[in-house]
Amino acid sequence: MTVLGVDLGGTKCLGVALQDGEVVGEVRLPTPAGGDALLEVLSTVVDRLRGSSTPEAVGVGAPGLVDRDGVLHFAANLTLEGELDLRSALAERLGVPVQVDNDATCAAWGERAHGAARGFDDVVLVTLGTGIGGGIVVAGRVVRGANGFAGEMGHMVVDPQGPLCPCGQRGCWERFASGSGLGRLGREVARRGGAPRLVELAGGDPEQVRGEHVTLAVGEGDEAAVEVLVRFAWWLGLGLANLANIFDPEAFVVGGGVVGAGDALFTPARRAFAELLQGADRRPPISVLPAALGERAGAIGAAYLAAEAAGG
């Protein structure tokens, strides 16, 4: 059985072809702005992936509120004028069954099928990218909620007086613990003159400091960057503690580019998590694990969810 999965990200659109569970092809294109352009790029990725053979199904992961009919209603980090009926529009263009889910829901399912969440029936995935995505597996099943909108952990408010979020609220968790949150924390220190190496990596302008500069400088052993990452890890631990109180998972799987920082991130994050978790020393430990599938997790999971929806 051949199924295709496409992850529509804030910056890139990444598709994979899966044949009997193995990745046999990959295509990536930049994500454009606007609904029609998004449909166009999704169709192009699918066309390039499928070559001459017709896949049984196509799965798409989209970064926002995707309802159970595959309509994208709202996406804080995409330029979208209104709602976008991704499933119908794509099914019509492609002539195959299309399944659309939230991007992080897809990533959670991908990690459970093939990655770090394998073997766990109760597991929560968080992806730290432009925003924070959340995917929830309870009793071995993906949780979508009444409308399909479950798992919007990035918009859990952790500081009501905090920075504005593109979603319109203040102090959402993703303002602190996403890849862009890491950049923001880095810029705060850089503006005060406390992180010369970060400013240097950003081409001399503190306003250009991004998350990648922080992780790069951490790799070089820069102390100021390590401090920024430890603050970031505290925010990550705080959110995970809140989620653990709600879901009581066996494990968390954490994905996104910043996971490349390894122990420099995971050691302080696990420490903060243990400090902030209710009754931490009276309950079985909850593992906090790095994701295993990297940037392909969402596309792989989207393909699996599409295969399941198509009865495969």
Those residues with Cβ within 8 angstroms of residue 246's Cβ, 6 or more apart along the chain or in another chain:
none
| Amino acid present at 182 | L
Q: Does 256 bind ligand BGC (CB under 6 A)?
A: no
Task: Say how far apart CA 190 and CA 208 lie, in whole Å.
Answer: 10
CB of 64 to ligand BGC, least distance (A): 4
The span of 100-108, 194-202, 268-276, 286-294 binding ligand BGC (CB under 6 A) equals 100-108
For ligand BGC, the binding residues in 170-209 under the rule CB under 6 A are: 174
Those residues with Cβ within 8 angstroms of residue 199's Cβ, 6 or more apart along the chain or in another chain:
190, 205, 206, 209
Site size for ligand BGC, by CB under 6 A? 15
Q: Does 301 bind ligand BGC (CB under 6 A)?
A: no
Q: Does 67 bind ligand BGC (CB under 6 A)?
A: no
User: What stretches of the chain adopt beta strand conformation (E)?
Assistant: 2-8, 12-19, 22-30, 57-62, 65-66, 71-74, 84-85, 98-102, 123-128, 132-138, 141-142, 251-255, 287-290
Cα 149 to the center of its chain, rounded Å: 15
Of the residues 35, 55, 59, 64, which one makes contact with ligand BGC according to CB under 6 A? 64
CB of 139 to ligand BGC, least distance (A): 22
Task: Say how far apart CA 226 and CA 212 lie, in whole Å.
Answer: 13
- Residue number with the shortest CB distance to ligand BGC? 131
Q: Does 7 bind ligand BGC (CB under 6 A)?
A: no
The span of 149-157, 185-193, 205-213, 300-308 binding ligand BGC (CB under 6 A) equals 149-157
Task: Say how far apart CA 285 and CA 308 lie, in whole Å.
Answer: 32
The span of 102-110, 117-125, 156-164, 205-213 binding ligand BGC (CB under 6 A) equals 102-110
Sheet holding 57-62, edge to edge: 22-30, 12-19, 2-8, 57-62, 98-102
Q: Does 133 bind ligand BGC (CB under 6 A)?
A: yes
Contact residues: ligand BGC, CB under 6 A: 63-64, 76-77, 102-104, 127, 129, 131, 133, 152, 154-155, 174
